[in-house]
Structure formats: structure tokens, C-alpha cells
């Protein structure tokens, strides 16, 4: 075991004292000295650990600032056994016995992502119990497991976006060693791991960073909390804090990619944006560790610069979410055009997204009252750089009652949603339980121990939906333990009935995606669409494959440009007669078709 190095960046206090206690032993204090950059290190010899050697072994520790009498956790703490207000505990990530020496990583192109929340994925809600369900994901056909934030937050359960100690793995999930076991187990099964990280704000409880230094913008907040100081005085160290966190996940914990939460909320006016800096760091680290490392942005800006190369004037991230795909598909399935869904009231919207990546490409957004987005350069950008879904944690959890699509759609409707999403040219993402149409809700839950904060969250939730004319009487209380426990998946469901039927369809669709090259062809210009709002059908053509979907409640007829050569899959009632496709209500047809004949004078490469 390596000897821990106790150092902390704290330019604010005049004195810093290290409080140190061998686990199970007696606490002691050591003075610290400051360098010119505001870093404090131990002035003296570390006490003996459990082995009897100085500094060797596990220690609980913390920092006292300016003789306050209060011991604060380490901003870079890897473990918090007693929560965000308690002492930190040393953890050596390099002592773990990895078995993934042969793991060479996975490229994002062609991949399928599975989004999961550790606390509600299994009854126990731990990383170790989640390992027991990984074979289910392998059989499904998953390439990447995306874990919602595991950084430490106050309370026992939470979505994870209220984190305040970014380096520590939440103890209720099993802590850092359980996290390494989970990653190792995923790699053993051929799946990569993407970690959801939150760099745009700090949670409301346990954030002691301002006592150490100017980590946060003075008076700067966004929708969710205090935002980091990325471009002000002393921001070099704040950016290094974020970069070091990236290194921890990708290097120390063998993670294969990061999902960067709400990057539109990152305020940075420096010449090199923090996102570009992270892309550079990931590229350098990828070369060092010898495997692909992916950075995926969540953004509501429809800004192609995120995934445009640095040479092309962009930030050089690998991929970004396309909310427009979800919105267009949601409206096609439900007919709901309220709020920001208003602009997606035509099947042409869904067709446009499949061809252009975004619907709003500088067009007017009636919800925003202005133009929105910018067009993707479809000649230079690859389709896999957009992550799409039919549902995700945000879309479900931010509905008033946390209701999944499965509570308002039929099995056939869920099936055609899966066809459109999983056979799209983009990188599809499945939210946990979606693959069997889970009936359990995914609700907004918190466990803030502070009464005033708990009350603020409860009232804020009601006010949010009151403003949208929702009946607030049936909105679940985020602080009620049942809201959390009721959001856990029911693993008895996928074994029978419509749940099993839908699960089988998901497996078949992902098998088709893996075995028919046209579905992962990364060229935007390889596909086109046509639709009819009156009859409710949409046809997506890509290379030699066609996907035809009838969203309507009446039968429809669709003309085919070329004859079918191989039927791949149907949902509901479908029949082909020559060049005419008969689609029953709520149905889908997937097939390969004959490519147009090339001119006799055509010479490849000529």
C-alpha cells in the first residue's frame, strides 16, 4: 500500500491543520505549510499506521481551517464513510486487483448505451448487486453501461446531481472499491463503462469548497446551484481540479467514457473552453492507456461546435445528446404538443431529425420565442456522434408523477418506438427497464437530512408543476422514502407476458443492428425519409434497408421504391404486395430492399 500524500489547495485560510487518525486508532494533528500557489503540505512526519510504519495504512483525516475547530473533508477525497460532513478516508485505487488486462476498450461508433441509476437498478441498490444483473445486459446486446452520478452527496438516496465531493464514490453504493469491481466486471463481459459527471454546479449541502478557495463563481449560480469558477482569478487550479477528476475516472478507475451533464451551464470565457481542454486531456490519456476514451455532452443548445473537431473550430468532443430526436418521437407516439413539444407536431419533424441530427437548426422555436440551434455539417459529421433515446432519466423523472412511456402506451406503441430508436443511424441509449416496458415509475427523489432543505425541495417541486398547470395534489413527495423505493425496478416483470415479448423484440432489434451494416452506416447522406401526417406513416430509407412505421390507429398503404429482398422484422400487421406495403394500425416493417441498378458504364473509382 502506498503512503498517502496529504496536500490541499486552500488559498483562502491563513492556517491549515491536518487532523489524522489511523482507522480504529487515536487522532493527532499536524501543522501544514503553504507554498506560493496556495497548496498546503504536511510539516513533519506522519504517524504510524496499523502496520507500525509511518503513514502506511488506512487513515481518516480532514482539514481544520484558521483554527475554527471544525474538521472539513478533503476536496479531493476518494472516500467518505460518514457522509459529506464527516472525515475523509484514504483510499489507494492502485491497490485494486484488476483482471481487465486484455480489455482494449470499445469504440463509440456502432455502440448501444444502457443508462442506469445504481440505487434503483436492483433491490439492494449497490454496485455489487448490479454486477449480478450484467449478464442480462450482455444478452440484451449492450455495449456501454452509463452510470448516473456516483459522486458523494448528502443523504442516502438521490439522483446524484447534488454531488459536492466529486472524487468520492457514494458510500451507500459500496464506495470506491465496489466501483472498481463493477467496472472490472463490465469489462470481463465485453462492455464499456461511461460515468455521468456533473461539473456545472455544486449540490446544496456539504459544499465546503468556498472555505478552501475560489472554486466557485462569486455570486454565480445556474438553475441547479453554485457554478464553478472556470475563468476568474485562480481558475487555473479550479480547472485542474476538474481535469484531475477526469483522470481519476478514466485512468485510475478504468472507465471508458464520461457523460458531461448540462454543458450549456458551464460559463467559460477563456480562449480555450473547458470542454476543449477536457477533449485534449482525454485524447492524450487515450494514447497513454491504449484504449478509446469518449466524452459525451448533454446540451440543450443544438450546437454542432461540441462535436466539431478542434481543427474545424469546435471543441472536439466525441458525441452529444439530441433531445430533438426524443421530442419528435414522443409527439409522434402521444400527440402531446404542450410546452417545448409544440414544434414537433408533424412526422416531418422526426424525419428531419433522422436526416439532419437536429430539428431546430436555426429555425424558430415557438417555446423559446426565438430561433434556436445551428445546422450540423452532415458531410463531415458522423451520425454516431448523436446519442438518442425514446426515454431517459430526465424525461421520465421530470414528468410530475415520474411515469414512464409504458404507462400510457400500448406494447405495440412501445415496440415501434424501439424500432425507430434502435435502428436509427445514431447511437441509441436505453434507460434501465425500458427494454421490458417496466411498470415502475422513475420519480424525483431526495433524502436531505436538513429540514429546511427538505422543505425547500418539496415546495419547489410543487411550484414547478403548478406553473405548468399540473394538479400538484398527486405529485410524489421527493423526501418520502417510498418515492425512492417505488422507483426501483421489479425484476420479476421481464419473465412473462407483454414484458417478455417486448424484451425479446429489443434483443432482436439489437441483433439486426449488429448484423446489417446499413443500420450503423455513419453517413448522414446515406439516408432519407418521407411521411404522411394524414395517414400517420413514416418511411426511413438507408442504403439497402427500409423502416416503415404506422403511428396511426388506422391501416395505411405505402408505396415502396424498390422490391423487398429480405424481410427482417415486423411489429403488428404488415404485408407486402409487389411494391405496396400494407401497414396495420400501430405497426412497423423492417426489410432489406433491392438497390437501384448502376449504369452499365459505371466503373468503381472512375
Worst-scoring range by mean pLDDT, 60-64, 110-114, 342-346, 597-601? 597-601
Residue (of 22, 23, 34, 25) closest to 65 by Cα position = 34
pLDDT at 108: 98
* Cα–Cα nearest to 120, from 322, 389, 404: 404
Q: Is 273 assigned a ligand-binding role in the annotation?
A: no
CB count in 10 Å sphere of residue 555:
14
Residue in the block written with cell 424498390: 562
510 is in an annotated binding site: no
Integer Cα distance of 550 and 547 in angstroms: 10
324 labelled binding-site residue = yes
pLDDT band for position 281 (cuts 50, 70, 90): very high
Confidence at residue 227, expressed as pLDDT on a 0 to 100 scale: 92
User: Is 412 one of the annotated binding-site residues?
Assistant: no
Confidence check: pLDDT of 202 > 80: yes
Residue 242 in contact with residue 41, Cβ under 8 Å? no
Q: Is 180 annotated as a binding residue?
A: no
Question: Could you read off the pLDDT of 9-22 as tens digits, one per residue?
Answer: 999 999 999 999 99
Residue 429, CA distances (Å) to 4, 114, 321, 325, 552 in order: 39, 6, 10, 12, 25
Task: Tell me phi and psi for residue 434, to 5 degrees.
Answer: -60, -35
Burial class (CB in 10 A: 0-12, 13-18, 19+), 552: buried
Which pTM was predicted?
Answer: 0.96
Name, of 465-479, 481-495, 587-601, the range with top average pLDDT: 481-495
For residue 142, the SS3 value is coil
241 neighbors 232 (Cβ within 8 angstroms): no
In contact, 121 and 115? CB cutoff 8 Å:
no
Tell me whether residue 201 is annotated as binding: no
Question: What pLDDT does residue 218 have?
Answer: 77
Residues 6+ apart with CB under 8 A from 169: 78, 79, 150, 151, 152, 175, 176, 178, 179
Beta sheet of 587-593, edge-to-edge order = 527-532, 537-542, 545-550, 587-593, 564-571
| Residue 108 among known ligand-binding residues | no
- 3-state SS, 9-47, equals ECCCCCCEEEEEEECCCCCEEEEEEECCCCEEEECCCCC
* Residue 376: DSSP 8-state: -
Question: pLDDT band for position 442 (50/70/90)?
Answer: very high
Collapse the DSSP code of 457 into the 3-class scheme (helix H, G, I; strand E, B; otherwise coil) and give the result. Answer: helix
Give the residues across from 547 on adjacent strands: 540, 590
Q: What is the DSSP string of 253-322?
A: S---EEEETTGGG----SSS-HHHHHHHHHHHHHHHHTS--EEEE--SS--GGGGS-TTTTS---SEEE-
Section 173-183 average pLDDT = 99
Q: Is 100 a catalytic residue?
A: no
Evaluated on CA atoms 599, 602, 605, 606, the torsion sign reads negative
Look at the chain and count its residues: 606
pLDDT tier for residue 220 given thresholds of 50, 70 and 90: low
State the Cα–Cα distance between residues 481 and 486, nearest whole angstrom: 8
134-138, 251-255, 483-487, 594-598, range with the lowest pLDDT: 594-598
Instruction: Check the annotation: does 328 bind a ligand.
Output: no
pLDDT of residue 221: 65
Instruction: Pick the closest to residue 321 from 264, 388, 261, 382 (CA basis).
Output: 388
Q: Which domains does the chain have, with CATH numbers?
A: 118-202+235-443+493-513 (3.20.20.80), 444-485 (no CATH), 520-593 (2.60.40.1180)
Q: Could you say which of 64, 298, 435, 544 is catalytic?
A: 298
- Give the residue, 49 or 422, on which the prediction is more confident: 422
282 known member of a binding site: no
Helix extents (H) in 379-531: 393-397, 411-422, 451-466, 481-485, 497-515
> 3-state DSSP: the chain helix, strand, coil percent, rounded to 5?
30, 20, 45
Whose CA is closest to 315, among 281, 347, 338? 281
Reply yes or no on whether the pLDDT at 468 is more than 80. no
- Residue 208: the pLDDT is 98
- The answer to whether the annotation marks 19 as part of a ligand binding site is no
User: Annotated binding residue at 323?
Assistant: yes
325 is in an annotated binding site: yes
- Between 48-57, 160-169, 254-263, 518-527, the lowest mean confidence (pLDDT) is in 48-57
Q: 320 and 306 in contact (C-beta within 8 Å)? A: yes
Among the listed residues 171, 196, 261, 521, the single catalytic one is 261
259 marked as part of a ligand binding site: yes
Please confirm, yes or no, whether 261 is among the known catalytic residues. yes
Angstrom distance (rounded) from CA 21 to CA 29: 9
Task: Check residue 603 and give its pLDDT.
Answer: 46
* Rounded Cα gap, residues 391 and 404, in angstroms: 8
CA terminus-to-terminus distance, the chain: 64
pLDDT in tens, 546-601: 999 999 999 999 999 999 999 999 999 999 999 999 999 999 999 999 987 655 44
pLDDT surpasses 80 at 198: yes
Cα dihedral 361→366→371→372 (10° resolution): -50
pLDDT grade for 465, boundaries at 50, 70 and 90: confident
Confidence band (pLDDT; 50, 70, 90) for 43?
A: confident
Q: β-strand 370-372 against 71-72: which pairing, if any?
A: unpaired
d(CA 227, CA 264): 12
* Least confident range of 215-229, 246-260, 279-293: 215-229
- Residue 503 and residue 435 in contact, taking contact as beta carbons nearer than 8 Å: yes
Residue 3: pLDDT band with limits 50, 70, 90: low
* 85-481-477 Cα angle (round to 5): 100
Amino acid at each position: 500500500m502506498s503512503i498517502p500524500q496529504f496536500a490541499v489547495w486552500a488559498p483562502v485560510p491563513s492556517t491549515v491543520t491536518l487532523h489524522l487518525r489511523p482507522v480504529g486508532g487515536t487522532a493527532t494533528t499536524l501543522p501544514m505549510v503553504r507554498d506560493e500557489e496556495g497548496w498546503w503540505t504536511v510539516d513533519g512526519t506522519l504517524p504510524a499506521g496499523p502496520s507500525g510504519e509511518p503513514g502506511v495504512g488506512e487513515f481518516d483525516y480532514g482539514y481544520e481551517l484558521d483554527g475554527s475547530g471544525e474538521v472539513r473533508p478533503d476536496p479531493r477525497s476518494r472516500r467518505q464513510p460518514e457522509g459529506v460532513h464527516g472525515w475523509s478516508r484514504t483510499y489507494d485505487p492502485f491497490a485494486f486487483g484488476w483482471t481487465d488486462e486484455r480489455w482494449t476498450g470499445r469504440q463509440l461508433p456502432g455502440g448501444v448505451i444502457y443508462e442506469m441509476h445504481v440505487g434503483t437498478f436492483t433491490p439492494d441498490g449497490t454496485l455489487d448487486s448490479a454486477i449480478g444483473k450484467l449478464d442480462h445486459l450482455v444478452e440484451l446486446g449492450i455495449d456501454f453501461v452509463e452510470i448516473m452520478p456516483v459522486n458523494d452527496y448528502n443523504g442516502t438516496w438521490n439522483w446524484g446531481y447534488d454531488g459536492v465531493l466529486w472524487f468520492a464514490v457514494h458510500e451507500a453504493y459500496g464506495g470506491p472499491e465496489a466501483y472498481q469491481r463493477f467496472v472490472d466486471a463490465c469489462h470481463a463481459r465485453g462492455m464499456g463503462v461511461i460515468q455521468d459527471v456533473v461539473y456545472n454546479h455544486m449540490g446544496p449541502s456539504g459544499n465546503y469548497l468556498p472555505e478552501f478557495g475560489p472554486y466557485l463563481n462569486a455570486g454565480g449560480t445556474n438553475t441547479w446551484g453554485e457554478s464553478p469558477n472556470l475563468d476568474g482569478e485562480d481558475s487555473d487550479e479550479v480547472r485542474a481540479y476538474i481535469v484531475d477528476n477526469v483522470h481519476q475516472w478514466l485512468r485510475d478507475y478504468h472507465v471508458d467514457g464520461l457523460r458531461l451533464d448540462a454543458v450549456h451551464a458551464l460559463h467559460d470565457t477563456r480562449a480555450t473552453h473547458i470542454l476543449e481542454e477536457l477533449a485534449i486531456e482525454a485524447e492524450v490519456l487515450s494514447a497513454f492507456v491504449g484504449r478509446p476514451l469518449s466524452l459525451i455532452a448533454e446540451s440543450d443548445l443544438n450546437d454542432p461546435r461540441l462535436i466539431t473537431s478542434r481543427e474545424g473550430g469546435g471543441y472536439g468532443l466525441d458525441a452529444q445528446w439530441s433531445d430533438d430526436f426524443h421530442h419528435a418521437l414522443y409527439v409522434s407516439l402521444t400527440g402531446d404538443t404542450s410546452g417545448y413539444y409544440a414544434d414537433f407536431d408533424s412526422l416531418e419533424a422526426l424525419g428531419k431529425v433522422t436526416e439532419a441530427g437536429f430539428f431546430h437548426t436555426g429555425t424558430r422555436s415557438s417555446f423559446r420565442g426565438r430561433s434556436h440551434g445551428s445546422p450540423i455539417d452532415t458531410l463531415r459529421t458522423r451520425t454516431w456522434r448523436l446519442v438518442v433515446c425514446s426515454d431517459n432519466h430526465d424525461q421520465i423523472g421530470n414528468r410530475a408523477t415520474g411515469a414512464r412511456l409504458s404507462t400510457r402506451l400500448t406494447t405495440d406503441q412501445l415496440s415501434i418506438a424501439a424500432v425507430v430508436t434502435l435502428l436509427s443511424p445514431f447511437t441509441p441509449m436505453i434507460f434501465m427497464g425500458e427494454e421490458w416496458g417496466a411498470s415502475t415509475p422513475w420519480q424525483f427523489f431526495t433524502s436531505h437530512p436538513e429540514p429546511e432543505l427538505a422543505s425547500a425541495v418539496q415546495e419547489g417541486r410543487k411550484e414547478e408543476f403548478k406553473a405548468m398547470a399540473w394538479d400538484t395534489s398527486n405529485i410524489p413527495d421527493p423526501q418520502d422514502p417510498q418515492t425512492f423505493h417505488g422507483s426501483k425496478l421489479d425484476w420479476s416483470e421481464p419473465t412473462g407476458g407483454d414484458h417478455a415479448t417486448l424484451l425479446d423484440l429489443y434483443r432482436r432489434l439489437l441483433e439486426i443492428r449488429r448484423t446489417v451494416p446499413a443500420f450503423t452506416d455513419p453517413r448522414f447522406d446515406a439516408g432519407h425519409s418521407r411521411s404522411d401526417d394524414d395517414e400517420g406513416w413514416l418511411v426511413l430509407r438507408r442504403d439497402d434497408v427500409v423502416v416503415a412505421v404506422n403511428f396511426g390507429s388506422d391501416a395505411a398503404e405505402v408505396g415502396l421504391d424498390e422490391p423487398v429482398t429480405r424481410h427482417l422484422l415486423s411489429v403488428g400487421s404488415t404485408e407486402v404486395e409487389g411494391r405496396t406495403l400494407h401497414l396495420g394500425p400501430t405497426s412497423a416493417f423492417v426489410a432489406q430492399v433491392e438497390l437501384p441498378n448502376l449504369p452499365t458504364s459505371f466503373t468503381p473509382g472512375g
